[in-house]
Structure 1
Amino acid sequence: MDTRNIRYFLAVYEHLHFTRAAEQLGISQPTLSQQIRALEAEVGIPLFDRIGKKVVVTEAGKMLKHYGTKMLQAEMDIQTAATELRSGSQGEIRLAALPSDLDFRLVPLFVRFKTKYPDTRLQVISTIFAYEEVLGHKVDLGIGLQGPADDRLTRIPLCSEPYGLLVRAGSKLAGRKRITLADLRSHPLVMYPKGYVGRDLVDETCRRQGFELTTAMETDSAVSLLQLVSAGIGAAVQPVGLIGQNGGAYPDIVAVPLSGEVPVRHLELTYYTDRFLTGAQRELIRWLTDFFAPMRPLP
């Protein structure tokens, strides 16, 4: 089975539209249709149902998506391994990381890593969907919150961090020794929008205690969140370790410990178990596990 035709199939699978898929691939629509028909003849069963102008994936198409993606990844692994052996290059790393950790924690580590391995091509994307990016073969490694069990992935626990309250120094809340989530129902808060992993973790902890927090303002940017706290717009429930590692960029923000039931986030590093890891990728895994080691032990 030709991997070129697998790429054609995956483009149609993604767009569910032959013309748009052909434009992405840089080929004509009739050529794409012909190649898909040839692939269907090879498989022996339709991959798409054409209902008027609508394209629907069949069960055979869903099956081919799973195995076809693995075929393309295997081809990439072979090429990567051969290149590394032939040239001695440190290779390429594609990493997905949570926005807050990328903004406040990981950039200095990447600077040191790039200084030591200048030949390594390092691409880091900021996303709350690190787990999905790894599963979709869009990145080699992902740093995100602990996800559901999946035998396809190797998962390395990095750390567990309790949340605290970040407030502007000098505010009424800043003088508290401890505070509960329930105490915050009457105070203005700035938070991520619903659907973001950090927000959902806080909301779920509150729901278990029978209440819901309201927000004065919401933002999807970790930097903006701290700027809003610094400006006195509201307080934020966040992992206290982030502000502690932010190099004093926000000296007017203090962390107040939470008491009672506290949200805790469990960070992990994930990658496909059966994929080839370059020397650079293995080295970055070691750097990351060492970097987070002081924040253990894990439960």
Structure 2
Amino acid sequence: MELRHLEYFLMLSKELHFTKAAEKLGISQPTLSHQIKMLEKEIGYSLFNRVGKKVELTKIGEIVQQEALNIQGSILSISSQITALSNVEIGELKIAVLPGEITDLVSTLCIQFNQLYPNIKVIIETTDQVEKAVLQNQADFGIDFHLTPNDLLQVTKLYDEDFYLISNQRNKEQNVSFSSVLDYPLILFPSMHQCRKLLNKASNEVGKPLEPIVETSSIRSILNLVRHGVGRSIVSRTLYDFYETEDLFFQHIEKPSLSRAVYLIMKKDCFINYAAREYIKLLVREIEKLHFHTEKDAINSLNSYVL
């Protein structure tokens, strides 16, 4: 079995279309078909079900796909280790994050990271499938809120964060019930954002509709609208602390209280390149500086893991 056969197989398993896969590989469709048939002959089983121009993985094909991804990951790991040893401050860092406010945290830290390591290229992949991106070596690590147990992943809880009701006027009460929050004119992220999904769920629990007067994906726009008294907003502490909010006021939300855990995800037993190690160290320092609710044992374990 040759490595190019696995490369061809993985591209076809991704595209599930011979012509599209061949184009991306830079070979002809008959050549791709011939190479796949050779691989199937060597394995002794069909890897794809062919229905006209469409194809789908067989059960055997799914097994081969996972093992081929592991082999590809090992090859990438070898390349990463050689690069890290030869020139530690030149390379590429790939981070997978959920769409929404967590992207702001990662992007903001990139400013500091770039000042320290201007020759390292940073790629932030926004995806709903952070774990998949890490498992398929599309990211060095990911930051996620929702986890599915997986023995192939190294998962570390970074911190717990609360959500605040923010406004341009000081309120004597430090806490406010979520039900009463819904009575205010609200400026919120669209429904696709993770923060908004949490709010939608909470509104269903209290039996009151969530009807914002403004929806926008821009945190800066949200903060400016709140400053000018257009309405109030609900934001995560991450965003509140990372932006200039000294002129705004916040209240803790209760009944129910709104909070979530933030996790860092890496592939188990996988080499962590220099860029990823340095970024993770920077991230941990920032979290500790902001006094988030962290689990010290988890953070200490992560520090020892990336050193």
Partner of 1:259: 254
Kept in 1: contact 2:47–2:61 (CA 8 A): yes
Partner of 2:171: 175
The alpha-carbon distance between structure 1 residues 204 and 176, as it changes in their structure 2 partners (threshold 3 A), is: farther
- Aligned partner letter, 1:205: A
The alpha-carbon distance between structure 1 residues 221 and 137, as it changes in their structure 2 partners (threshold 3 A), is: farther
Kept in 2: contact 1:129–1:144 (CA 8 A): no
The alpha-carbon distance between structure 1 residues 92 and 14, as it changes in their structure 2 partners (threshold 3 A), is: same
Out of 207, 232, 235, which is 1:235 matched to?
232
Partner of 2:285: 290
Identity within the alignment, %:
29
> Which deviates more, 150-159 or 176-185?
176-185
Q: Give, in whole Å, the separation in 1 of the partners of 2:249 and 2:257.
A: 18
TM-aligned CA deviation for residue 242 of structure 1:
1.7
Q: Give, in whole Å, the separation in 1 of the partners of 2:87 and 2:242.
A: 38
SS of the residue corresponding to residue 198 of structure 2 reads helix
> Which deviates more, 152-161 or 47-56?
47-56
Out of 176, 183, 188, which is 1:186 matched to?
183
Partner of 2:109: 109
Kept in 1: contact 2:77–2:270 (CA 8 A): yes
TM-score, structure 2 normalization: 0.83
SS of the residue corresponding to residue 14 of structure 1 reads helix
Q: How does 1:1-299 map to 2 (within 5 A)?
A: 1-89=1-89, 91-98=91-98, 99-103=100-104, 105-107=105-107, 109-127=109-127, 129-167=129-167, 169-170=168-169, 175=171, 177=173, 178-230=175-227, 232-246=229-243, 248=244, 253-293=248-288, 294-298=291-295
Kept in 1: contact 2:89–2:117 (CA 8 A): no
Q: Give, in whole Å, the separation in 2 of the partners of 1:228 and 1:12.
A: 48
SS of the residue corresponding to residue 151 of structure 1 reads coil
Kept in 1: contact 2:97–2:142 (CA 8 A): yes
The alpha-carbon distance between structure 1 residues 276 and 232, as it changes in their structure 2 partners (threshold 3 A), is: same
The alpha-carbon distance between structure 1 residues 128 and 238, as it changes in their structure 2 partners (threshold 3 A), is: farther
TM-aligned CA deviation for residue 30 of structure 1:
0.9
- Give the gaps of 5 or more residues in structure 1: none
TM-aligned CA deviation for residue 123 of structure 1:
2.5
1:188-224 Cα distance to aligned partner (Å, 9 max, x none): 3233333432222222233333444223333344444
Q: Give, in whole Å, the separation in 1 of the partners of 2:47 and 2:123.
A: 34
1:270-290 Cα distance to aligned partner (Å, 9 max, x none): 110121112332232222122
Kept in 1: contact 2:101–2:193 (CA 8 A): no
Please tell me the root mean square deviation across aligned C-alpha atoms, in Å.
2.6
- Aligned partner letter, 2:62: K
Q: Give, in whole Å, the separation in 1 of the partners of 2:55 and 2:135.
A: 24
TM-aligned CA deviation for residue 146 of structure 1:
4.3
* Runs of 4 or more consecutive aligned structure 1 residues displaced over 6 Å after TM superposition: none
- Give the gaps of 5 or more residues in structure 2: 297-307
Q: Give, in whole Å, the separation in 2 of the partners of 1:191 and 1:132.
A: 29
Q: Give, in whole Å, the separation in 1 of the partners of 2:164 and 2:84.
A: 45
Q: Give, in whole Å, the separation in 1 of the partners of 2:220 and 2:64.
A: 42
TM-aligned CA deviation for residue 150 of structure 1:
1.9
- Aligned partner letter, 1:124: I
TM-score, structure 1 normalization: 0.85
